[in-house]
Amino acid sequence: MNMTCGEATMRLLARYGITTAFGIPGVHTLDLCRGMTNGTAAKGDNAGTIRHVQVRNEQGAGFMAEGWARATGEVGLAVVISGPGVTNASTAVAQCHADSLPMLLISAEPDRSTIGKGWGVLHEITEQRRVTEPLCAYSGTAMRASDVPEMLARAFSNLSSKRPRPCHISLPLDVQAEIVEEDWLPAPLPGRPSADPEQVAEAAALLGGAENPLILVGGGAVGASPDMTAIAEATGAIVVASTAGKGIVPDDHPQSLSGSSVR
C-alpha cells in the first residue's frame, strides 16, 4: 500500500501507541495531517487512528503535549510547521527537558535543497535542529524517507529506556512527499533498568532501622505513588517533595509536609 512519507510517519507513530497529536495544520504539514485525517490504520492493523487537537499557537500545542505527558506518563506529540512553529513550541520543549517529561516534537522543514542556504524561503531557519538540540535527548532531520523509521526508533528508545527527555524530528517538505512502498513497523523498545535487588534490600534495612527517617520524593517517582506512600507509612517517615514530586505522596497525607517545596 503506497502512501507519502508524511502519511507513513503518522501511521508508524500510531503503531508506537500515539493516539493524539496537538498542532495547527499548515502548508508545511499537509502530508502529516493527511496521515491523521485519512486514518493511520490499515485493515487488520492493531494501530488506532490519531486524533488531531488543533490550537491557536504552537506554544499551546507544545504545552498540551507537555500536559499530556505529565498527566498520563505517555509520550506527548506536537506536530508543527517549520520556523515559527518550532520556535513557538521550543518553550514547552524546554519545560519537558527541565521536568523530564516524554515529549516528541515532529516539525516540517523547507525542501532539502534550501536547508542552510539562507535564501529566505517561507518559514526558514538556517539550522532548525540546532534550535532544539540543547533541549532534547535527540534532535535530527530526515534527509530521505527511509531515515524516518530509524529516527523514530531512536527517539522512542530514548523516551522509553532512559530519563525521559523530549525528542525532535524535522521532515523537509520534499521528504514528506516521497512515496513509501514498505510497511513500516515499530522497533522493539528496551525498558528502563530495574534497581539492584541487593541495594533495594540494603536501603530497606537502613530505612527500617532509622530513628527519624525522612523521604525526599522527586519527579522520578511519578509512577510509584502507591509504593512511596506505603514505604512512608511502613517506616513512619516524614515526606518532603521537590517541585516535580509534589502529589506523589498525597499532600493531605498526615506524614506529608505539603506546605514545603524544595527544588
Kindly report the CATH number assigned to the domain that includes residue 113: 3.40.50.970
Residue 136: exposed, middle, or buried by beta-carbon count in 10 A (0-12, 13-18, 19+)?
buried
pLDDT at 261 over 60: no
Identify the helix (H) or strand (E) that includes residue 140.
Answer: strand 138-141
Could you tell me which residues come within 8 angstroms of residue 35 by beta carbon, excluding any fewer than 6 positions away? 3, 4, 6, 7, 8, 9, 10, 11, 50
Kindly calculate the radius of gyration of the chain based on its CA atoms and give it in whole angstroms: 21
> pLDDT grade, residue 15 (50/70/90)?
very high
pLDDT at 174 over 70: yes
- Pair 94, 211 in one domain: no
User: Alpha-carbon dihedral of residues 137, 139, 142, 146, nearest 10 degrees?
Assistant: 0
Q: Is 28 helix (H, G, I), strand (E, B) or coil?
A: helix
Cell of 217: 520524593
Give the integer Cα–Cα distance in Å for 24 and 155: 22
187 in a structural domain: no
> What is the pLDDT at residue 1?
67
> What is the pLDDT at residue 135?
96
143 in a structural domain: yes
Q: What percent of the chain has pLDDT over 70?
A: 94
- Pair 171, 212 in one domain: no
> What is the pLDDT at residue 45?
53
> What is the pLDDT at residue 125?
85
User: pLDDT tens digit string along 97-107?
Assistant: 999 999 999 99
186 in a structural domain: no
| In contact, 14 and 41? CB cutoff 8 Å | yes
pLDDT at 48 over 60: no
User: Lowest-pLDDT range, 84-98, 117-131, 142-156?
Assistant: 117-131
pLDDT at 189 over 70: yes
- Pair 203, 128 in one domain: no
- Pair 154, 254 in one domain: no
- Pair 136, 200 in one domain: no
Identify the helix (H) or strand (E) that includes residue 32.
Answer: helix 30-37
- CATH number of the domain where residue 228 is located: 3.40.50.1220
**Pairing verdict, β 179-180 and 167-172:** unpaired
Q: What residue type is 61 in one-letter code? A: A
Give the integer Cα–Cα distance in Å for 173 and 114: 11
175 in a structural domain: yes
pLDDT at 262 over 60: no
- Pair 43, 17 in one domain: yes
Average pLDDT over residues 132-156: 97
- Pair 172, 207 in one domain: no
Number of structural domains the chain divides into: 2
Other beta carbons within 10 angstroms of residue 246's beta carbon come to 17
The pTM score is: 0.85
20 in a structural domain: yes
pLDDT at 61 over 90: yes
- Pair 240, 176 in one domain: no
User: pLDDT tens digit string along 208-257?
Assistant: 889 999 999 988 888 889 999 999 999 999 999 988 888 899 999 999 98
pLDDT at 203 over 60: yes
User: What is the domain extent for residue 153?
Assistant: 3-180
User: pLDDT tens digit string along 149-168?
Assistant: 999 999 999 999 989 999 99
189 in a structural domain: no
Give the integer Cα–Cα distance in Å for 260 and 252: 12
pLDDT at 47 over 80: no
